[in-house]
Amino acid sequence: MPRVTAPSLCQRKQVGDKIAMLTAYDFPSAKLMDESGVDVILVGDSCAMAVMGRPDTLSVTMEEMLHHTRIVAAAAHRALVVADMPFLSYQVSPEDALRNAGRFVAEAGAQAVKLEGPADKFGDAIRAILRAGIPVMGHIGLTPQSVHQFGGYKVQGRDEANRQRLIEEARGLEAAGCFAVVLECMPAPLAAEITALLTIPTIGIGAGPDCDGQVLVMHDMLGLGIHTKFCKQYADLAGVMRGAFEAYVHEVKAGSFPDAEHAYQ
């Protein structure tokens, strides 16, 4: 199977072929996703909340993100691996942004990076990264690194001014050279309008069915994370895992594990 690439995702939009993206932070999950036909694996800064037990994404560091990206990149042979640039890794200066994006590619094996926010703030950072040959995915709407500015995890673009702002931000990211843009938590009709306006693919999360692709946080869709209105739960892994742990504890305490089948004679 040929590797999914940033340019090939743009071609998908032209033929109406939807893009399936999920987050992963570990080897077995990334390997299963790759084998299951997931097109894009995002090593999201959501790992702070999904696997590190932190209250938000703001504290995750470059070193932590590099560690998880290296693991995921080793597992994915077909899917495009996108590394999420953590808080303060691209906001301070375009030079910093380029150096950190370059580390994801050179040291960890990512094929693209994602950063949150509009081009009027981060256009210089995006262009610096692109000049080095690294594809950039944009991300607008509810951008979790700005949670304190939003005053919580709230649906964006509900009033006319914010609706117009998000349309301009999406256009700005396309003009800056992003190969795709994540639209997070916005009304479905607004995401549909942005999708129709852009030539690059939109990847929705809580943005309705008309985006060119969808992304979910793996732990949430497997029932191991946060319940939200937009995240369909495809499995109850928490129930499966709890059942296995309880059965193990019971059998160890009862002396029925290990039995003859699981012991060397």
Q: Which residues bind ligand KIV (CB under 6 A)?
A: 23, 42, 44-46, 84, 182, 205, 215, 217
Token digits for 182?
């994540």
In whole angstroms, the minimum distance from the beta carbon of 124 to ligand KIV comes to: 21
Cβ atoms < 10 Å from Cβ of 88: 13
In whole angstroms, the minimum distance from the beta carbon of 70 to ligand KIV comes to: 17
The residues annotated as belonging to the active site are 184
In whole angstroms, the minimum distance from the beta carbon of 246 to ligand KIV comes to: 30
203 contacts 138 by C-beta, under 8 angstroms: no
Token digits for 223?
């029932």
In whole angstroms, the minimum distance from the beta carbon of 110 to ligand KIV comes to: 14
